[in-house]
Amino acid sequence: MKRMGLLTSGGDCGGLNAVIKGAAKMAGSMGIEMMVIPNGYAGLYNLIEMDSLTSLTPERLMQIDVTLAGSEAGHSRVKIKKIDNPDKYQRIKDGLKKFGIEGLVISGGDDTGSVIVDLAENGIPCIHVPKTMDLDLQSYSVGGDSAINRIAAFVRDLKTTGNSHNRVLVTEVFGRYAGHTAFRGGIAAEADCILLPEIPADFDVVYEHMKREFTARIRSSDVRKGTYSIVVAEGMTDAKGEAIADESAGKDSFGHVKLAGAGKYVRKQLESRMKEDPEIKEFMKDVGMFVPDVYESPEIREVNPGHLVRCGHSSAYDTVFGFEAGAAGVVLLESGTTGVTVVGVESGEISYQPTAEVIKQRHVDLSEIALYEKLGFCFGRKPEEYKPNLQAHKGHIKRHV
């Protein structure tokens, strides 16, 4: 190929600028020109109407800072399937032809990936570089590690507020179908309770755990201080396994119901139990917090950092993985492969899998949850047994770094 196009699509996150730079530099080293298709699939669809495209020359690449999250190529949440135009693939092909673009490197998540499958089926050579901070693809995807680190920092920081006010703090984070980042971010901040889409929440279990831990901390503190922290993925499910949707929130451009209010829901579930529990009043009196009519029950606050968990700087791992995955995408595309996802780059090997397989949802492995339940964390269910298999490992150990 002489010229490739690069686009990023779906939600922004860490590592994408390294994908862009890795892809463009690898292309450059192979004598291929890399063009930016701006604004994700919106730009791809409108290519035919554009006057010019930006080429990622060495000089232009100097302006891209790989340590920053987000994408210099721009995103949009436009999904090709939703466009009501029977000639849309022809329009895209015409646009690519206009600019002499022979193949595409596309970085995105499951929705993005499903379009890649379509594009490849429509004869447009393309390679998928996995990206989603939700980590709900089968392979690792850029953005996940950055999000986990930011969630952990926020949940950790909020403990100073919780400890000052003896408050329970509920932090709601992204995570529609899978709770990977809530899980790992929560563990890394040593949250007390983590509620995931994968485990229907039993609030009686949560309440008992909270009451026991929270009151024990304040009682054992010589300055009567303590907090309890909960991390909840937006896609958490109630006891019936249903997501907590906010009726007023509408749908996004991919047709998904907007989830909202998981944090608020958790707060209300716990507040109502706390207010009805006579032992809470007794506890408040015992530790000297109780003031009649004014302060009869500890406060619960919910915080929703929203896009703060995906912006700012990339984690080191995401930048490194991004460089490698972007570069690998170009090597695969040049080799004639299409419709596949980069799933590994190590020791001189690039491994890939059909995008259609990689975009199948991957959930948190519940056998890992049991380990953390042994360590005292609550996941909104009765703890299950942890019976690990002890296995002697022979020979070389694979590492991610």
Question: Tokens representing 233?
Answer: 């993925």
Rg, the chain, Cα only: 24
Annotated active-site residue in 134, 145, 192, 318: 134
First CA to last CA across the chain, in angstroms?
32
Picking from 85, 105, 84, 90, the residue whose alpha carbon sits closest to that of residue 47 is 90
Q: Which is nearer to a second copy, 124 or 150 (CB)?
A: 150
> 231's torsion region: left (phi>0), alpha (psi -120 to 50) or beta?
beta
Contact status: 381 vs a second copy (CB under 8 A):
no
Question: From the list 29, 90, 272, 361, which residue makes contact with a second copy (rule: CB under 8 A)?
Answer: 29
Contact status: 240 vs a second copy (CB under 8 A):
no
Question: From the list 3, 99, 156, 356, which residue makes contact with a second copy (rule: CB under 8 A)?
Answer: 156
Smallest distance, Å, CB 275 to a second copy? 14
Contact status: 166 vs a second copy (CB under 8 A):
yes
**Which positions from 39 through 78 interact with a second copy, judged by CB under 8 A?**
39, 41-43, 45-47, 49-50, 54, 58-60, 62, 65-78
Question: From the list 2, 84, 86, 240, which residue makes contact with a second copy (rule: CB under 8 A)?
Answer: 84
Instruction: Please state, in angstroms and rounded to a whole number, the distance separating the CA atoms of residues 294 and 168.
Output: 18
Question: From the list 32, 116, 127, 158, which residue makes contact with a second copy (rule: CB under 8 A)?
Answer: 158
Query: Is 84 an annotated catalytic residue?
Result: no
Q: Which is nearer to a second copy, 215 or 315 (CB)?
A: 315
**Which positions from 331 through 360 interact with a second copy, judged by CB under 8 A?**
331-332, 335, 337, 340, 343-353, 358
Smallest distance, Å, CB 65 to a second copy? 8
Contact status: 361 vs a second copy (CB under 8 A):
no
Contact status: 396 vs a second copy (CB under 8 A):
yes
How far CA 254 is from CA of 46, 259, 355, in Å, comes to: 18, 13, 19
Contacts of 24 (CB under 8 A, 6+ apart): 6, 34, 56, 61, 326
Question: From the list 90, 253, 272, 361, which residue makes contact with a second copy (rule: CB under 8 A)?
Answer: 253
Contact status: 224 vs a second copy (CB under 8 A):
yes
**Which positions from 263 through 282 interact with a second copy, judged by CB under 8 A?**
none
Is there a contact between 117 and 358 (Cβ–Cβ < 8 Å)? no
Contact status: 247 vs a second copy (CB under 8 A):
no
Picking from 146, 199, 171, 177, the residue whose alpha carbon sits closest to that of residue 312 is 146
Contact status: 82 vs a second copy (CB under 8 A):
yes
- DSSP per position, 38-90: TTHHHHHHHGGG-S--EE--HHHHTT--TTBSS-TT------GGG---TTHHH
Residues with active-site annotation: 134
